A and B are shown apart, each in its own frame.
Chain A
Amino acid sequence: MKTFLNIFLRFYQLVTLQNKKKRQNLKMSARKKTWVRCAFSEMNISTTPVTPEATPAKRTRSSRNVSTRTSRSQSGNSTPKQVLPIESVDLTAVDDENDAESTGPTPEVKANWMESFAPAASEDLAVHPKKIGELRDWLRHCEAMRKKFPAQMCLLTGPTGAGKTATLRVLANEFGFQVQEWINPVDCEVVNALGDQSSGSSYVGSHLEAFKSFLLRASRYKSLLDSHSKRLLLVEDFPNVLLSDKEANFEEILDEYSTYGKSPLVFIVADAKSRGLNISYRLFTDQLKAKHRIEHISFNSIASTIMQKSIKVFCSVMQQPQNKATYTLPSSTVVDSIVVGAQGDIRNALINLHLSSLKGVPSMPTKQLNVSVATKGRKKKMQSTLKSIGRDESITLMHALGRVLNPKFNEEKHMLHSPEEITEAFSTEPRNFVNFVHANYLPHFKDIEDVVAAINDLGLSDVMLDEYRDSSLSTMGLNIAIRGAMLANSSPVSGWMPVRGPKRINIHSQATLAEQRLLGVGYSGISKSLYATEYSSFVKCIAGKLSESQSSQSTDSI
């Protein structure tokens, strides 16, 4: 009997599956989205009203809740049941409800806890007011040009967690724009006439086509469910085709958009360390920016003082009645360490704060950094960072170079930044770093004896870096070079010294045409180095004399 019941249940499930395939798809996407949102989304992305009109490619993640969710308390109260009436099917939300029922007394977990911390007005943003002003100016400009040139473009760059998206959303809300974001479709398949799944190139094409049609349609036609009249397109998630394929011409798309588009278009690109990964560098060439008058606003990572302020705001949010059940206030050392550990990434700071202030979590262990910072009261305050969480300190090449060339020592003659630390923080391309050290170390030295010690170590590291059979040697080589440059300098020279890049040696064939003619066909058989050492100086003077005599002969004949 029981088995029969099971079978029946299973059958019923299958039937419903078949019947509501479309709906199921929507469910799937909703499930995906909530997952994605937890991991990647910005602070105030709301649940998606997946409209049946939307094609799978053009899935607008509209931020309509940005407008509705003006008061925090409302969003704080937004239990899953309140989310449901908005046409969207949020499976995770239902799951949460079940969890809450089954576990009973534990505080409820909201679908997106980050939302309750999202800034609502531009005053709450942790971004520097000047940058906010720049973006506001651009939006004002868009307003002004709405009739004549609606397709304005803007590029926001900056390190991760600098508040690029948050700023845009807040300001768009302020100006009454509806933000429509492009999201790379995961299930974009082209089915051709025979019903076969397409392969290779056409798939790529369709991806691009979907992007194009998003740009053109989303800027023209407003969503049926929306009351906003103005739209603003946001591309944060670049179609992979554009990045991998040079033929898929980004420029063409922009050309098209600038003539047909009807709404302002914003690109948001996070900075990447290497040039190859840097989208803003690869896609947005200076030429392109000039052509379409793309406004480039680059955000800086958030300063620690502002970060501290906004963490205070977060803390006050935590103390609001609806959150009290979830959070306890962390101690001030923990808060300070979060600020240090985040290194200007406010999203990261918020995540750490969330983790360290959840109820029932033992207080986070902190690690003392050996960096002391002089505060206003002339007291030396030790900085500390969270032991288990927080980002690894990663430093840029120039920063590391400064630490190596101007080593700092504390009272006990110990180095503030040990060579190991620098090596570990910067181990991507040892060879490159050693070249930079070599190009710049000399002006910092006063005594030739110290130079000998330093260059000796640099030479040794060069030999070690060239040994490819053991990968650990490269790290060791880098360490030796860094140590050499840091320790050898007994009496460093201080002053402003511009950093120079390492020289590249490009041997170019320096034979002129006359010289080549002199050598005849045999010239191609002479290697560059042989030519430079044996031929060039003599051939130069012979050829010079020849041309002289030829010109004098020609004048004689006249």
Chain B
Amino acid sequence: MALWVDKYRPRELSKLDFHKEQAENLRNLCKQSDFPHLMFYGPSGAGKKTRIMCLLREMYGAGVERLRSETMTFTTPSNRKIEVMTVSSNYHLEVNPSDAGMYDRTVVIDLIKQVAQTHQIEISGQREFKVIVISEGDELTKDAQHALRRTMEKYVATCRIIISVNSTSRIIPAIRSRCLGIRVAAPNETEIVSILQSTCKREGLALPVELAKRVVDKSERNLRRALLMLEAAKVAKAPFTANQEIPDLDWQVFLRETASQIISEQTPGKLEKIRERLYELLTQGVPPNLIFRGLVEQLVNNCDMSIKAKTLEFATEYEHRMQTGAKHIFHLEAFVAQFMNIYKKFLSELVMTDDF
């Protein structure tokens, strides 16, 4: 039993549903004996990971699909043990160093050393290098990225690195220049609709076009989200109808409620309650920048035109501070307080002008 996302994930480059030209290019790349470090970049749910796996299959054959998950333990210089989950086959190793938080530098160095210092046992018919897939590379700290740069050069004979990132802006130029960048754009709406339709056909379900369109709208062109959403909708109500309810992401619902609470009352007491809610989101594991963005979107949509510009101005300032600082909650809270202040002033002015 697998999720639709995994069940109907294309396994070969030739079977990809969109960006077919790019797939052809990737296949050409594999045919050559040498192969550079790669960096796949594009929005979440655009198919970066799918393309990486297809590429690996193209290079190594079906063997890369025999995956095993493994928990690796690393010891930091301060003698702290950290555990990182990895997925690997005989030919590649996939790791998420961002889970190690501030200790990702150790993970990156140790992992690459471990992998790169061993040669492939059977060279016949295979490449003589292994591949390390680093997902969410833009979450790596600067420290880890610099460490990566050095190891990338040193072990180029035995291993290649494929980094998957959302945005190249958070990757240091040194790494950007060492990798061949491959942009994977999000699929457009018609592409997603056709993928949803074909998925439903293979599942033996009929999907009304209206529902498909609504799912696409709600998923913000994120294919993974669209597929999960559709499956969740199917679980909720088995034969699809055109106007059935589509489940939401619960943290988005939570954020929406938070935003409406901010607008309803502007006092320090309320701010404290909002802080609790923000803490809850953070402990759930929702990254702070997503929280910030969602909050700004909701607040700007629900306030008067005259204060929108000011809200956005403050949002940029505090978002920048959040990126440089360490305690995200400080800056989220600062933004909420600032918005409360603006909104309260706006309301009191409104009352004054009404009096005249």
Residues of chain A at the chain B interface (Cβ within 8 Å): 431, 435, 438, 442-443, 445-449, 451-452, 455-456, 458-460, 462-463, 465-466, 503, 505-508, 510, 517-539, 541-542, 545-546
Contact = CB atoms under 8 A, between A and B. Distances in A.
Contact of A539 (B3, B136, B269, B321): B3
Given A521-B67, A533-B290, A537-B247, A460 B321 contact: yes
B235 A442 contact: no
A384 B172 CA distance: 57
Contacts of A463: 321, 324-325
Nearest to B2: A520
B235 A545 contact: yes
A446 B44 contact: no
Contacts of A447: 268
B107 to A, nearest CB: 13
A552 to B, nearest CB: 14
Given A466-B325, A505-B282, A533-B249, A438 B330 contact: yes
Which 6 A-B residue pairings sit nearest by Cβ, starting from the closest? A532-B285, A524-B69, A524-B85, A538-B228, A545-B235, A537-B250
Contacts of A527: 96, 98-99, 135-136, 139
Contacts of A443: 268-269, 272
A451 B45 CA distance: 39
- Of the candidates A442, A448, A527, the one having the most CB atoms from chain B within 10 angstroms of its own CB is A448
A301 B85 CA distance: 52
A537 B249 contact: yes
Contact of B287 (A521, A524, A525, A529): A529
B279 A503 contact: yes
Contacts of A533: 249, 251, 285-287, 290
Contacts of B68: 521
B225 interface: yes
A221 B96 CA distance: 65
Given A446-B268, A522-B67, A466 B1 contact: no
Interface string B259-303: 000000011110110010001001111110010000000000000
B49 to A, nearest CB: 8
A319 B235 CA distance: 94
Contacts of A438: 327, 329-330, 333
B229 interface: yes
Contacts of B117: none
Contacts of B71: 524
A320 B224 CA distance: 91
Contacts of B222: 534
A451 B71 CA distance: 45
B327 A442 contact: no
A462 B338 CA distance: 17
20 contacts: A448-B268, A449-B341, A459-B318, A462-B321, A462-B327, A463-B324, A503-B279, A507-B284, A510-B284, A521-B69, A524-B86, A529-B286, A532-B251, A533-B286, A534-B222, A534-B224, A538-B228, A541-B235, A542-B228, A545-B236
Contacts of A541: 232, 235-236, 247
Given A508-B283, A524-B69, A541-B235, 8 more contacts: A524-B85, A525-B87, A526-B96, A530-B44, A531-B285, A533-B290, A534-B228, A537-B232
Interface string B211-242: 00000000000101100110110011000000
Contacts of A449: 341
Contact of B232 (A442, A507, A542): A542
A465 B326 contact: yes
Nearest to A531: B285
B11 interface: no
B235 A542 contact: yes
Contacts of A517: 1
A60 B65 CA distance: 74
B271 A442 contact: yes
A519 B68 CA distance: 13
A118 B324 CA distance: 58
Majority secondary structure of chain A interface residues (helix, strand, loop or mixed): helix
A460 B268 CA distance: 20
- Of the candidates A431, A447, A520, A525, the one having the most CB atoms from chain B within 10 angstroms of its own CB is A525
B333 A455 contact: yes
A522 B96 CA distance: 12
Contacts of B251: 532-533, 537
Contacts of A518: 1-3
Given A446-B268, A524-B85, A459 B99 contact: no
Nearest to B67: A521
B224 A546 contact: no
A501 to B, nearest CB: 13
A554 B222 CA distance: 37
A506 B280 CA distance: 11
B228 A466 contact: no
A458 to B, nearest CB: 5
B286 A525 contact: no
Contacts of B268: 442-443, 445-448, 451
B170 interface: no
B288 to A, nearest CB: 10
A532 B340 contact: no
B16 interface: no
Nearest to A462: B325
A388 to B, nearest CB: 41
A525 B283 CA distance: 20
A503 to B, nearest CB: 6
Contacts of A507: 282-285
A448 B340 contact: yes
B244 to A, nearest CB: 14
A455 B247 contact: no
Contacts of A510: 284-285
Contacts of A542: 3, 228, 231-232, 235
A435 B71 CA distance: 33
B142 to A, nearest CB: 12
A136 to B, nearest CB: 46
Nearest to A435: B327
Contacts of A546: 1, 235
A522 B99 contact: no
B344 interface: yes
Nearest to A525: B87
A526 B86 CA distance: 9
Nearest to B250: A537
A459 B321 contact: yes
Nearest to B266: A448
Interface string B37-49: 0000000110001
B135 A525 contact: yes
Contacts of A529: 98, 136, 139, 285-287
Contacts of A505: 279, 282-283
Contacts of A458: 330, 334
A532 B249 CA distance: 10
Given A524-B86, A528-B99, A448 B344 contact: yes
A276 to B, nearest CB: 14
Contacts of B282: 505, 507
B250 A455 contact: no
Contact of B96 (A460, A462, A525): A525
B248 interface: yes
A445 B334 CA distance: 14
B129 to A, nearest CB: 21
Nearest to B98: A527
A480 to B, nearest CB: 12
A542 B247 CA distance: 11
A538 B231 contact: yes
B153 interface: no
A397 B303 CA distance: 41
Given A446-B268, A518-B1, A532 B325 contact: no
B331 interface: yes
Contacts of B279: 503, 505
A462 B330 CA distance: 8
Contacts of B334: 452, 455-456, 458-459
Contacts of A465: 326
